[in-house]
Amino acid sequence: MGGRMADNLRKHGHKLVVCDPVPANVQKQVDQGAKAAANAREVAEQCDTIITMLPSTATVECVYLGKDGVHEALRNEHLLLDSSTIDPIFTKKLSKELHDLGATFVDAPVSGGVAGAQNGTLTFMVGGEKEEFERVKPLLAVMGKNL
């Protein structure tokens, strides 16, 4: 689903830096104009906004807090948006840790499946402060219809 969400962002003029453990997924995005990164830290070094769509709580933890994770290159201006459907207790803990490091973290899991991701009609269930929601709303609007 992440690749299809990335497609919609790119179609609306957003420049992307992508990272995925499956090289073919990265190559597909690079072929469409994205830049490849070797790991999440490299993404954080090059981008102010990071969107993740990951399969499990453990993967989210690794990407944000693990070796070569986002936290290693975190800056105050970072806007972090996680659309993974994961353990809400962990998400709350992660949000606090990342806020303590100075970043803005917004939890925005989705429903709508692969078809919704492809068609830009996902439903986002957004958790965060109103001001944070307003920051991510333009990005969500190109990937979904119900925010």
pLDDT, tens digit (0-9, with 9 covering 90-100), for 75-93: 988 999 999 999 999 999 9
Question: In the chain, what percentage of residues exceed pLDDT 70?
Answer: 100
Cα 123 to Cα 6, 20, 71, 86, distances in angstroms:
16, 23, 28, 16
88, 96 contact by CB (below 8 A): no
Instruction: State pTM to two decimals.
Output: 0.94
Which distant-in-sequence residues (6+ apart) come within 8 Å of 53 by Cβ?
A: 1, 2, 5, 82, 83, 84, 110
CA atoms of 95 and 82, how far apart (whole Å): 10
pLDDT band at 128 (very low <50, low <70, confident <90, very high): confident
| Predicted pLDDT of residue 45 | 98
User: Which 8-state DSSP code applies to residue 47?
Assistant: -
Pairing of β 144-146 and β 110-111 = unpaired
Taking only the tens place, the pLDDT of each residue in 35-71 is 999 999 999 999 999 999 999 999 999 999 999 999 9
User: pLDDT tier at 103 (50, 70, 90 boundaries)?
Assistant: very high
* 3 state SS for 82-126: ECCCCCHHHHHHHHHHHHHCCCEEEECCEECHHHHHHHCCEEECC
Name the percent of the chain lying above pLDDT 90: 96
Residue 101: what pLDDT? 92
Contacting residues for 96 by C-beta, under 8 A, at least 6 apart: none
pLDDT at 139 over 90: yes
Question: Could you give the domains of the chain?
Answer: 2-146 (3.40.50.720)
